Amino acid sequence: MPVINFLFDLAALVLGLSVLGVGARPPVQRAGTLLGNLKPADQRATARWKPLAILVALLVLRPLLYAPLAEITGTIPEWSPTPASVPFRPDYFSRLLTFSLVSFSWTTLIFLFWVLLLSTLVRGCREPGPWNRFFQETLGPLARWPVVVALFLPPLVGGCWWYLGRWPLAWLGVLPAAPTPELLIRQSLLIAAGIWVSARWLFAGLLVLRLVNTYVYLGTHPFWDFVHQVGGVLLRPLRWLPLQLGKLDFAPLIAAVLILAAGWGAERGLVELYLRLRS
């Protein structure tokens, strides 16, 4: 169930980016050229309603699959914002629809947090390259805001989401009655910190890809140059350590292991604190 729901969320995220027109703009041509003087036809209205309709249909109709999937797999839909875990009973469509919307919105928030982190890391690269355009299309003005925004805005949104969303979830019977405001604020702070912990998968994945691309030729796509440069920014704190053996550079692998270990420890600590607040 978690894997299937995650794939649904990824598909919905891609559709959402299509609705926003991310990646749909043609390359910018220099002024004074024939292509630069041409104005492309405005097809945004006709090109975006289709992915929007598919996105709405996916979010509304996928709850119909959760009940039979729960019987087949023996699991129920579960929203797991670190460090909390919120199960949704599959015998009420209203709850399953709520789960569909909540799961997608949380996946979108984590995605935007990761993109914000990448946009800040790119600022430390010697040649940001064409990926700046992707960040600008996805984030808009946020792509030019200070680094502190990338670190605190998504966790702040996530914490507020938990604080404000606790009451409607309790009204639907998904969660027990909301605790005292003080305890709810503490829970919200833990949820906000959990968004930071999610970055370990992004950083470790980039470092592993950088390691593979260093020793395996994967082509000349700009993505691999982006991975190499951003991975280099992540490795700067370890630059002073002798982590090379001949032609082998173990820095990306060691850094990935350290990040995953630190993230695992932080996650366990948040879960322990969250359980104490519930007891």
Q: How many domains does the chain have?
A: 2
Residue 237 vs residues 193, 234, 241, 252: alpha-carbon distances, Å: 23, 7, 9, 11
The answer on 202 and 158 residing in a single domain is no
Flag whether pLDDT at 227 surpasses 90: no
Predicted confidence (pLDDT) at residue 132 exceeds the cutoff of 90? no
- Of 70, 106, 73, nearest to 90 (Cα)? 70
- Residue 245 or residue 67, greater confidence: 67
Average pLDDT over residues 30-55: 61
> Predicted confidence band at 257 (pLDDT cuts at 50, 70, 90)?
very high
Residues 20, 55 contacting (CB under 8 angstroms): no
Residue that terminates a domain, selected from 150, 165, 180: 165
Q: What is the pTM of this model?
A: 0.86
Look at residues 144, 165, 186 and tell me which one is the last residue of a structural domain: 165
The yes-or-no verdict on residue 128 having pLDDT over 60 is: no
Average pLDDT over residues 125-153: 75
Residues 116 and 221 in one domain: no
Is 99 inside any structural domain? yes
Of the residues 165, 190, 215, which one is the last residue of a structural domain?
A: 165
Whether the Cβ atoms of residue 1 and residue 73 lie closer than 8 Å to each other? yes
Whats the size of the chain, residue-wise? Answer: 279
pLDDT > 90? residue 203: yes
Return the closest-CA partner of residue 174 out of 65, 76, 58: 76
Q: Which domain holds residue 252?
A: 198-279
E-only strand ranges, the chain: 78-79, 86-87, 244-245, 248-249
Q: Both 122 and 17 in a single domain?
A: yes
Beta bridge partners of 86: 79
pLDDT above 90 (res 40): no
